Amino acid sequence: MYIAVASGKGGTGKTLVSTSLALSAKEYRCTYVDLDVEEPNGAIFLAPEIREEIPFTLQVPEIDENICTFCETCAKSCLFNAISIIPPVKKAMFFPDLCHSCGVCAYVCPVDGALKEVAREIGKIRIGRSGNITFIEGRLQVGQLSGVPLIKGIINDYMDMESLFIVDSSPGTSCPVVESLKKSDYVILVTEPNPFGLNDLKLTVELVKELGKDAGIIVNKDDGKSTIIDEFSREVNIPVILEIPYSIDIQKAYSNGIPLVVSMPETAEKFKAIIKMISRRP
Amino acid sequence: MLHGGSFFKKRPHWPPEAKMKNFKEIVIISGKGGTGKTTITASLADIIPDKIVADADVDAANLYILLKPGNIRDKDFTGKSKAEINKDLCTNCNLCRELCRFHAVEFNNGHYRVDPYSCEGCGLCKIACPAQAIEMKDQVVGKWFVSDTEFGNFVYARLIPGAENSGSLVTMVRFQAKMAAVKKDIKTILIDGPPGIGCPVTASITGVDLAIIVTEPTYSGISDLERVFDLTTHFKVKSGIVINRFDINPGNTKKVESFAKENGVPVFAKIPHSQCIMEEIAKSSLPSRKCKPLARAIEKIYEQIKNELL
Amino acid sequence: MKVLIAVENNAGLDSILDKRFGRAGYFLVYDTDENKILTIQENQFKNDGHGVGIKTATFVIENGCQAVIGAQPGPKAAAILVQANVKMIVDDKGTVKEALERHKQELTV
């Protein structure tokens, strides 16, 4: 089973919730997957013992200027402008940050041996264990523009075993999030009871409905007074499955990397109940 | 073969863009989401005279909630094109599905179809298709808006959930803000930046005069600060740090201050945690108008901005 | 020599220099030996995504220009122009006529 934890707005408590779920899933074979590859933080709370660190690479073109005839076919076919050929000075230029690793250049090059594809590292996959929890994290190299290939790589190659997957996605609603939600069985949406939280929750709900996913809302930093999330939840028919009260103590514990179920053990029962509820759906 | 990227790192001595324009661009970023970027941007917009405000967080644009724009003019934004298979021409040869590196071609009910959520828009399938049954179609992926507010012109945008091209839309928002600044001879552009370190953040910081990094004294915040600072260094952007909710963890606040000192980055201000700010946000009101500690910190930040940009 | 000038509009020598390079409205190619405009074309690339400047730089080279006048090109475009030994004159003020006059010296081989 694949439970994705998402939030439109950053800082609402995705990692707080996802790590709490993983720590509460003691009866299951649980794998925590940190797909917030731009800013992965799950390790701060789970303190895993890392056993493997695997470089993640993409195929990118390498042009041999001695064989290249500077016909410019590759440059003209690249829809991302990642290659520039300069015939007057017989130079080939490659812009790695524009390359999407699609293979078009290699496919269209008419000259044998002029263009080959080589591996280029864009990030790392770290694998380890935290107690009984299997820990997988994607970490994008700073300066790389897109974490999407790394996220896809982890989902395709490292999540094919039987497990309860708790997946922490990135904030927002664009492609890294789409990738993280696409194969999920259930999406937990974490929000805050204020206009910013509601605004971004609306966007994420649009996405969840587009993808046809079952979902539930967790309201974090709940002040017990605001009703804007409840009202919205009824409008869109997505239930609020948990409210975490606003508490300076939780914030302080969080700031020291202490998971919620450790600083407030009574919450463990609630997270256990959520996992049971999700696994029992038809 | 030359790598354009590494080339840039070795020879950055063409005249910096800053000398060409007569306005200054300030971006507020954070690495970690939820540190208070938008609140701080809005508060600065309230005290900096003569500016254009832009919201570059196109995935989850929130600034409009506090700035309350009126007279909104909008325009469609077209992102990259995606492949579309013409069922009538398709011969079911399966070549596109074999070649597509993004697993974007599906075979369902006897038909081949491109999944737009997976399609990267590279065109390999179109090039390879022996029946020429595939075309690249432009997609409208969002909208951008130019508006008026009590703080001046405000440019923002919205990406359709699930869409890509955040970077291009951020570039469009910045470009519209620059054009407005040139037209009205305005000296400052204030940009609310996106969280993270990916393409939209890069698009929001290249060529700016100052990046204000808002952080919080949590382990997560510190980890993300280090990564986003790596990014501003990579792009040679002058930075300053603001520590929000500094009093929830004095030990970690000291860590941030040490980090700042080690890296030669000024700490512009430290903002205390406050119930007042949360209450004002809940009402969609500008917190700096009511919450004195925040207002004082904003004044301090503005002083530092003036120092750095003169 | 041939020089490409990035302009806002199509008004011959009175065209105004654009504040952008890669996304300029039009490209004007001028021949300083023959003292005439060879072509003014609408910029086909200006609404492209990333790497617009790369297309512009390619256009410069394809048209045999040895110099460009206009706003500061982005780093990738600049990298290409440097490799191709194209002189970059960064100036986005006034009209084509004025810019050509201002930079007369730099445009003699």
Reply yes or no on whether the pLDDT at C51 is more than 80: no
- B259 shares a domain with B178: yes
User: Cβ contact (<8 Å) for B4 and C79?
Assistant: yes
Tell me which of B138, B164, B180 is where a domain ends: B138
Burial class (CB in 10 A: 0-12, 13-18, 19+), A191: buried
> Pick from C23, C75, C88: which is nearest to B8 by CB?
C75
Report the CATH fold assignment for A2-56+123-280. Rossmann fold (3.40.50)
Chains B & C: contacts with CB separation below 8 Å: 37
User: Roughly what angle, to the nearest 10 degrees, separates helices A175-182 and A195-210?
Assistant: 50
pLDDT bin (cut points 50, 70, 90) of residue B2 is low
* Residue B222 parent element (H or E): helix B219-234
Q: What is the pLDDT of residue B18?
A: 37
Q: What is the pLDDT of residue B20?
A: 46
Residue B188 counted as domain residue? yes
User: Cβ contact (<8 Å) for B4 and C88?
Assistant: no
| CATH number of the CATH domain containing B126 | 3.30.70.20
For residues A94 and A106, give the distance between their C-alpha atoms in angstroms, rounded to a whole number. Answer: 13
Please tell me the total number of residues recorded for chain A in this structure.
Answer: 282
pLDDT bin (cut points 50, 70, 90) of residue B11 is very low
How close B285 gets to chain C, by Cα (Å)? 36
User: Cβ contact (<8 Å) for B1 and A147?
Assistant: no
Structure tokens belonging to residue B282: 């809940």
- B247 shares a domain with B225: yes
User: Cβ contact (<8 Å) for A140 and B198?
Assistant: yes
- For the CA atoms of B277, A16, B55, C47, the dihedral, rounded to the nearest 10 degrees, stands at 180
User: Cβ contact (<8 Å) for C49 and B2?
Assistant: no
- B22 shares a domain with B92: no
- B242 shares a domain with B160: yes
How close A200 gets to chain B, by Cα (Å)? 6
Residue B1 counted as domain residue? no
Reply yes or no on whether the pLDDT at B1 is more than 80: no
Query: Is C50 an interface residue toward B (CB < 8 Å)?
Result: yes
pLDDT tens by residue, B184-226: 989 999 999 998 888 888 889 988 999 999 999 999 899 999 9
User: Cβ contact (<8 Å) for B17 and C23?
Assistant: no
Chains in touch with A (≥3 Cβ pairs < 8 A) = B, C
Mean pLDDT in residue range A263-270: 90
User: Which of A251-260, B12-21, B265-274 shows the lowest mean pLDDT across its residues?
Assistant: B12-21
User: Nearest 5 degrees, angle CA B284-CA B177-CA C97?
Assistant: 170
By C-alpha distance, the chain A residue nearest C55 is: A81
> Pick from C51, C61, C84: which is nearest to A81 by CB?
C51
Q: pTM of this prediction?
A: 0.81
Structure tokens belonging to residue B85: 């298979």
Helices (H) and strands (E) in chain C, counts: 3, 5
> Pick from A11, A94, A173: which is nearest to B59 by CB?
A173
Contact residues on chain B for C23, CB-CB shorter than 8 A: 175
Contact residues on chain B for A256, CB-CB shorter than 8 A: 218-219, 249, 252
Contact residues on chain C for B17, CB-CB shorter than 8 A: 72
Reply yes or no on whether the pLDDT at B229 is more than 60: yes
> Pick from A80, A82, A93: which is nearest to C80 by CB?
A93
> Pick from A38, A251, A254: which is nearest to B198 by CB?
A38
For residues A3 and A30, give the distance between their C-alpha atoms in angstroms, rounded to a whole number. Answer: 11
Query: Is C108 an interface residue toward B (CB < 8 Å)?
Result: no
| CATH number of the CATH domain containing B29 | 3.40.50.300
Q: What is the pLDDT of residue B9?
A: 36
Tell me which of B138, B155, B176 is where a domain ends: B138
What are the residue ranges spanned by the domains of chain A?
2-56+123-280, 65-113
User: Cβ contact (<8 Å) for B11 and C82?
Assistant: yes
Neighbours of B279 (CB within 10 A): 16
- B73 shares a domain with B95: no
Segments forming the whole domain that contains residue B75: 10-79+142-309
- B238 shares a domain with B158: yes
Residue B4 counted as domain residue? no
Q: Which domains does chain C show, CATH number per domain?
A: 2-93 (3.30.420.130)
pLDDT tens by residue, B64-110: 999 999 999 999 998 888 999 999 999 999 999 999 999 899 999 99
Residue B133 counted as domain residue? yes
The rounded percent of chain C whose pLDDT value lies above 90 is 62
In B104-185, DSSP assigns E strands to 105-108, 111-114, 134-137, 140-149, 152-159
For residues C20 and C8, give the distance between their C-alpha atoms in angstroms, rounded to a whole number. Answer: 9
How close B182 gets to chain C, by Cα (Å)? 9
Q: What is the pLDDT of residue A274?
A: 96
Reply yes or no on whether the pLDDT at B8 is more than 70: no
User: Cβ contact (<8 Å) for A12 and B161?
Assistant: no
C interface residues, A as partner, C-beta within 8 Å = 48-52, 54-55, 57-58, 61, 76, 79-80, 83-85
* Amino acid code (one letter) for B41: T
Structure tokens belonging to residue A215: 């979902």
Mean pLDDT in residue range C17-39: 91
Reply yes or no on whether the pLDDT at B19 is more than 70: no
For residues A83 and C51, give the distance between their C-alpha atoms in angstroms, rounded to a whole number. Answer: 10
Q: What is the pLDDT of residue A127?
A: 97
Tell me which of B138, B155, B186 is where a domain ends: B138
User: Cβ contact (<8 Å) for B168 and C49?
Assistant: yes
Reply yes or no on whether the pLDDT at B230 is more than 50: yes
ipTM over 0.95: no
Residue B191 counted as domain residue? yes
pLDDT bin (cut points 50, 70, 90) of residue B12 is very low
- B258 shares a domain with B110: no
User: Cβ contact (<8 Å) for B278 and A172?
Assistant: no
- B232 shares a domain with B198: yes
pLDDT bin (cut points 50, 70, 90) of residue A170 is confident
Neighbours of A256 (CB within 10 A): 15
- B259 shares a domain with B196: yes
How close C11 gets to chain A, by Cα (Å)? 30
Residues 6 or more apart whose Cβ sits within 8 Å of residue B275: none
pLDDT tens by residue, B106-128: 999 999 999 988 899 999 999 99
How close B169 gets to chain C, by Cα (Å)? 9
- B164 shares a domain with B43: yes
In chain B, DSSP assigns E strands to 2-3, 24-29, 51-55, 70-78, 82-85, 105-108, 111-114, 134-137, 140-149, 152-159, 188-192, 210-215, 239-244, 267-271
Residue B258 counted as domain residue? yes
pLDDT bin (cut points 50, 70, 90) of residue B7 is very low
For residues A159 and A33, give the distance between their C-alpha atoms in angstroms, rounded to a whole number. Answer: 9
Beta-bridge partners for B29? B213
For residues A281 and B204, give the distance between their C-alpha atoms in angstroms, rounded to a whole number. Answer: 43
- B214 shares a domain with B86: no
User: Cβ contact (<8 Å) for A195 and B284?
Assistant: yes
How close C79 gets to chain B, by Cα (Å)? 7
pLDDT bin (cut points 50, 70, 90) of residue B3 is low
How close C100 gets to chain A, by Cα (Å)? 25
Taking domain A65-113, whether its CATH number is 3.40.630.30 is answered by no
Q: What is the pLDDT of residue B16?
A: 37
Q: What is the pLDDT of residue B261?
A: 96
> Pick from C23, C72, C83: which is nearest to B2 by CB?
C83
Reply yes or no on whether the pLDDT at B6 is more than 60: no
DSSP classification of residue B196: S
User: Cβ contact (<8 Å) for A96 and B252?
Assistant: no
**A-contacting residues of B 261-280, CB under 8 Å?**
273, 278
On average, the pLDDT of chain A sits at 93
Query: Is C18 an interface residue toward B (CB < 8 Å)?
Result: no
The tally of domains found in chain B comes to 2
On average, the pLDDT of chain C sits at 90
Residue B3 counted as domain residue? no
Mean pLDDT in residue range A25-31: 90
For residues A208 and A187, give the distance between their C-alpha atoms in angstroms, rounded to a whole number. Answer: 8
> Pick from B3, B31, B162: which is nearest to A94 by CB?
B3
User: Nearest 5 degrees, angle CA B197-CA C51-CA B200?
Assistant: 20
For residues C6 and C91, give the distance between their C-alpha atoms in angstroms, rounded to a whole number. Answer: 10
- B181 shares a domain with B133: no
Beta-bridge partners for A108? none
Q: Alpha helix locations (H) across A37-188?
A: 42-46, 73-77, 104-108, 148-158, 175-182
